[in-house]
C-alpha cells in the first residue's frame, strides 16, 4: 500500500491572476505564484530551499527549475522539474517535496506550475493543439490526429455508445463547473451558461463541443510545504496528504485500453485503501476536467456513480455546491482556468482550511483530487485532509 | 468521395522498428508483430514484446479486418489552415481481429461516420505519394 508521511504538510497555497497576462513569461508567472504561496503562509521567499516546478508546455525550456530558482534568488538544496501529466504532476511534485523534507534534503519546499499558454503560444497555433503532447507522431499524425481534443472525443464517443449516455450528460459537467466559477473572482468564465448555450456551442470533434473543452490560460499556482513540527511552531494551519496513488497504462491514444480498464479506477482503489476512506467520507471533489468526459469517467472510476450513471449523479445535484460532494467549486479547468490542474490542489487547500470565501463548503475536512495526464495515460488520485 | 489526391497527412518517418510496417502498407498489407515467446500480437512496432519482454518477433500480415471501438468526426483544422480542405474527417480506433487496437482514419464519403461496433476493413489510399492504412466499412457486412 503506498504510504505518504503525515509529518510533512502543506501550509501555503497561492495563485496568480488567470486569463491573459500579456508581457509575462513563464518564469515571471511561476515566480509570482511562489510569492503568493509564500505570502499566504508568512514564509520569506529566500527561506525556500526546495523547488519543484513544471516546464512550460507552450514554449518548452530546459533546466527550468534552476531558471526559476535563479530568478527568485534561491540557492536550493533540492530542485527538480516534474512532468507526468495533468494534475498527476502536482501530486508527484507533492510526493517529491514530502520525500525531500522528510529525508532532510530541504526544509521549506515550493511546488509550482505556470506559464503563458494563452498569450505565449507560437503564432498560428490552434486551440489546445500546441503540439502532439502524446508523443505518438508516427502512429497518430498520419491519421489526422493532432492535439488533445480528438483523443478525448474518441473516449467520449465510446462512453456515449457503450452506456447509451447522451450529450446532456456531458453538458452537466460544463453547467455545474460554470455555476461554481461564478463564485470565483479569479475565473476566466464569468457568464452563466444554460443547457441551450451548451448545445449551441460549436462542435469541435464529435461528440465534444467548445464548452466540453477547458480554457487555455495564462497563470500559475504554487504550494509551500514544511514539516508538521515547523508548521505548528509557526502557528500555521496545515493540510496533509492522507494518501496518493497513481497508475499509468499507456501514453498515446492508439494504446488506450477499454474504458473500464483505464488507470483511474486502480489509482482510486489504492488511494482510498491507503487512506481507509471512500467516496462517502469526502466533502469536496477536485476532479481533473480538461474535458467534460473526464469527469464522467472519473466519477464512475472512483465509485461516486455506477457505470454510465454519472450524468444522473450530476443531475441529482450531488456534485453541486450544497450537494453530497461538490465538484470543482473553483470552476475547474473548464471555467476557472487550465493551469495544468495545480489550482485543483490550491482549491483543495482553501476548502480544507476554510479560506475558500463565497464558495466555501461548510465543514469540509477531506478532499479527493484526481488527475489524468495525456488521454487517461497517467492517472492519479490523492486524498487530502485538514 | 475523397479521391486519393485530395487526402493530406503528416507522413510517417519510419524508424528501425517501424520500417517493415510502412513498407507493408506500400504492398497493401497490414503487418503486425507476433511474439514467439508468448504469442502476443501487437501494434505499434517495437523492439520487444510489450506483454512479456520477448525478443523473438516476426512480422505477419493481418486480415485487415476488425471492429470500430470508437470514432470522432473532426470539425476543426488543428494542424493549421492547410487542413481546412479535409474537414470534416473522421478518426477511428479499430480493434483488429488479431487483437491489437489501432488508431486510423475513416475512408469513406465526406461526412460519413461509422457506428461503434461496426465491422471495418483496411484500405490503402495513396496520400501524397504514400499508401497509408485507413479503414472503411467491411464489404458485405451489416453496418
- Verify whether the Cβ–Cβ distance A147 to B78 is below 8 Å: yes
**So what's the pLDDT on residue A61?**
85
Taking alpha carbons only, the member of A159, A171, A164, A157 closest to residue A200 is A171
Among residues A204, A200, A214, the alpha carbon closest in space to that of A154 is found at: A204
- Domains defined along chain A, listed by start: 8-121+216-233 (3.40.47.10)
**Contact: A153, B105; criterion CB under 8 Å:** no
A252: which chain B residues are within 8 Å (Cβ-Cβ)?
103
pLDDT of residue B2: 45
C-alpha separations of A92 from A131, A162, A250, A265, B13 in Å: 23, 33, 18, 18, 33
CA A324 vs CA A41, A265, B56: distances in Å: 30, 21, 54
Query: What was the pLDDT predicted at B95?
Result: 98
Q: Which of A196, A176, A167, A146 is nearest to A328 (CA)?
A: A176
Q: What is the predicted pLDDT for the residue at B5?
A: 45
Structure confidence by residue, pLDDT tens digits, B15-63: 999 999 999 999 999 999 999 999 999 999 999 999 999 999 999 999 9
Closest CB to A138 among B18, B74, B113: B18
* DSSP letter for each residue of A271-295: HHHHHT--GGG-SEEEE--SBHHHH
Q: Do A138 and B78 touch (CB under 8 A)?
A: no
CA distance A115 to chain B (A): 21
CA A326 from centroid of its chain's CA atoms: 16
Taking the CA of residue B140 and the nearest CA in chain A, the distance in Å comes to: 23
Half-sphere exposure of A70 (CA within 13 A, CB side): 5
Candidates A119, A120, A115, A152; CA nearest to A133 is: A152
Residue A216 near chain B (CB below 8 Å): no
Q: At residue B112, does pLDDT exceed 90?
A: no
Q: Which residue, among B14, B50, B67, B70, would best test binding to A if mutated, counting the most A CBs under 10 Å from its CB?
A: B70
So what's the pLDDT on residue B3? 46
Q: What is the pLDDT of residue A129?
A: 46
pLDDT of residue A365: 97
A319 in contact with B, Cβ within 8 Å: no
For B125-136, what is the mean pLDDT? 96
Within 8 A of A203 by CB-CB distance, chain B residues are 75
User: What's the confidence (pLDDT) of residue B143?
Assistant: 56
Whether the bond between B88 and the residue before it is cis, its omega within 30 degrees of 0, is yes
In this prediction, residue B4 has a pLDDT band, given cuts at 50, 70 and 90, of very low
Across the interface, whether the CB atoms of B78 and A150 are under 8 A apart is answered yes
Average pLDDT over residues B127-133: 96
d(CA A157, CA B105): 15
| A140 to B103: CB separation less than 8 angstroms, yes or no | yes
| Rg of chain A (C-alpha set) | 19
Question: Is ipTM beyond 0.90?
Answer: yes
A122 shares contact with chain B (CB less than 8 Å)? no
Task: Flag whether pLDDT at B124 surpasses 80.
Answer: yes
CB–CB contact B72 A147 (8 Å): no
Under the phi-then-psi rule, with left for phi > 0, alpha for psi from -120 to 50, and beta for the rest, what region is A45?
alpha
Per-residue pLDDT of chain A (386 residues; tens, 9 = 90+): 789 999 999 999 999 999 999 999 999 999 999 999 999 999 999 999 999 999 988 878 889 999 999 999 999 999 999 999 989 999 999 999 999 999 999 999 999 999 998 998 776 665 544 555 555 688 999 999 988 999 999 999 999 999 999 999 999 999 999 999 999 999 999 999 999 999 999 999 999 999 999 999 999 999 999 999 999 999 999 999 999 999 999 988 889 999 999 999 999 999 999 999 999 999 999 999 999 999 999 999 999 999 999 999 999 999 999 999 999 999 999 999 999 999 999 999 999 999 999 999 999 999 999 999 999 999 999 999 99
- What residue in A sits closest to B131 (Cα-Cα)? A142
Q: Rounded to an integer, what distance in angstroms lies between the CA atom of residue B72 and that of residue A208?
A: 9
Of B44, B76, B80, Cβ closest to residue A205: B76
Residue-level pLDDT at A345: 98
Max distance between CA atoms of chain B, in angstroms, equals 47
Window 191-210 of A: residues touching B by CB (8 A cutoff) are 202-208
Task: Identify the three-state secondary structure at position B134.
Answer: strand
Q: What is the DSSP string of A312-369?
A: HHHHTTTTSTTSSS-B-TT-IIIII--STTHHHHHHHHHHHHT--GGGPPTT--EEEE
pTM of the model: 0.96
Give the gap in angstroms from C-alpha B45 to the nearest C-alpha of chain A: 10
Q: Which domains does chain B have, with CATH numbers?
A: 13-61 (no CATH), 63-138 (2.40.50)
A306: CB partners within 8 A, 6+ apart: A300
Q: Pick the residue with more confidence: B80 or A203?
A: A203
Contact A254 B93 (CB under 8 A): yes
Q: What is the mean pLDDT of chain B?
A: 93
Flag whether residue A260 sits within 8 Å of chain B, measured between CB atoms: no
Interface of B with A (CB under 8 A): 9-15, 18, 43-44, 69-80, 83, 86, 89, 91, 93, 101-105, 113, 115-117, 127, 132, 134
Question: What pLDDT was estimated at residue A243?
Answer: 97
Amino acid at each position: 500500500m503506498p504510504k505518504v508521511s503525515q509529518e510533512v504538510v502543506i501550509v501555503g497555497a497561492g495563485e496568480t491572476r488567470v486569463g491573459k497576462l500579456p508581457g509575462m513569461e513563464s518564469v515571471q508567472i511561476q515566480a509570482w505564484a511562489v510569492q503568493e504561496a509564500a505570502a499566504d503562509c508568512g514564509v520569506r521567499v529566500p527561506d525556500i530551499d526546495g523547488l519543484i516546478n513544471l516546464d512550460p508546455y507552450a514554449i518548452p525550456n530546459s533546466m527550468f527549475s534552476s531558471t526559476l530558482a535563479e530568478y527568485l534568488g534561491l540557492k536550493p538544496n533540492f530542485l527538480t522539474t516534474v512532468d507526468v501529466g495533468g494534475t498527476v504532476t502536482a501530486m508527484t511534485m507533492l510526493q517529491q517535496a514530502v520525500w525531500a523534507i522528510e529525508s532532510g534534503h530541504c526544509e521549506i519546499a515550493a511546488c509550482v506550475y505556470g506559464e503563458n499558454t494563452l498569450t505565449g503560444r507560437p503564432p498560428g497555433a490552434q486551440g489546445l493543439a500546441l503540439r502532439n503532447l502524446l508523443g505518438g507522431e508516427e502512429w497518430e499524425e498520419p491519421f489526422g490526429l493532432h492535439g488533445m481534443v480528438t483523443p478525448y472525443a474518441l473516449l467520449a464517443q465510446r462512453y456515449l455508445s457503450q452506456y447509451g449516455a447522451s450529450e446532456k450528460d456531458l453538458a452537466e459537467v460544463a453547467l455545474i463547473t460554470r455555476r461554481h466559477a461564478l463564485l470565483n473572482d479569479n475565473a476566466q468564465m464569468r457568464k452563466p451558461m444554460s443547457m441551450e448555450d451548451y448545445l449551441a456551442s460549436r462542435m469541435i470533434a464529435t461528440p465534444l463541443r467548445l464548452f466540453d473543452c477547458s480554457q487555455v490560460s495564462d497563470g500559475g499556482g504554487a504550494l509551500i510545504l514544511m514539516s508538521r513540527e515547523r508548521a505548528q511552531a509557526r502557528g500555521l494551519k496545515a493540510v496533509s496528504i492522507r494518501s496518493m496513488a497513481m497508475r499509468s497504462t499507456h501514453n498515446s491514444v492508439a494504446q488506450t485500453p477499454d474504458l473500464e480498464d483505464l488507470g483511474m479506477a486502480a489509482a482510486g482503489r489504492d488511494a482510498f485503501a491507503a487512506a481507509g476512506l471512500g467516496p462517502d467520507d469526502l466533502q469536496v471533489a477536485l476532479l481533473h476536467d480538461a474535458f467534460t468526459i473526464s469527469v464522467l469517467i472519473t466519477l464512475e472510476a472512483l465509485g461516486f456513480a455506477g457505470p454510465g450513471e454519472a450524468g444522473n449523479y450530476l443531475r441529482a445535484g450531488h456534485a453541486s455546491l450544497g450537494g453530497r460532494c461538490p465538484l470543482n467549486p473553483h470552476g475547474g479547468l473548464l471555467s476557472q482556468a487550465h493551469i495544468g490542474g495545480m489550482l485543483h490542489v490550491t482549491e483543495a487547500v482553501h476548502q480544507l482550511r476554510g479560506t475558500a470565501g463565497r464558495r466555501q463548503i461548510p465543514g469540509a475536512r477531506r478532499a479527493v483530487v484526481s488527475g489524468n495526464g495525456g488521454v487517461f495515460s497517467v492517472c492519479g488520485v490523492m486524498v487530502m485532509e485538514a | 468521395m475523397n479521391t486519393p489526391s485530395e487526402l493530406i497527412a503528416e507522413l510517417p518517418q519510419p524508424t528501425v522498428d517501424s520500417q517493415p510496417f510502412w513498407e507493408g502498407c506500400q504492398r497493401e498489407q497490414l503487418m503486425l508483430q507476433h511474439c514467439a515467446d508468448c504469442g502476443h500480437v501487437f501494434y505499434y512496432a517495437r523492439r520487444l514484446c510489450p506483454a512479456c519482454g520477448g525478443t523473438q518477433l516476426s512480422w505477419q500480415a493481418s486480415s485487415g479486418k476488425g471492429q470500430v471501438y470508437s470514432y470522432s468526426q473532426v470539425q476543426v483544422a488543428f494542424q493549421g489552415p492547410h487542413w481546412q480542405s479535409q474537414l470534416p474527417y473522421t478518426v477511428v480506433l479499430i480493434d483488429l481481429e488479431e487483437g491489437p487496437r489501432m488508431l486510423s482514419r475513416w475512408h469513406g464519403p465526406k461526412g460519413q461516420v461509422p457506428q461503434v461496433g461496426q465491422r471495418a476493413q483496411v484500405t490503402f489510399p495513396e496520400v501524397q505519394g504514400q499508401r497509408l492504412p485507413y479503414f472503411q466499412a467491411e464489404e458485405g457486412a451489416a453496418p
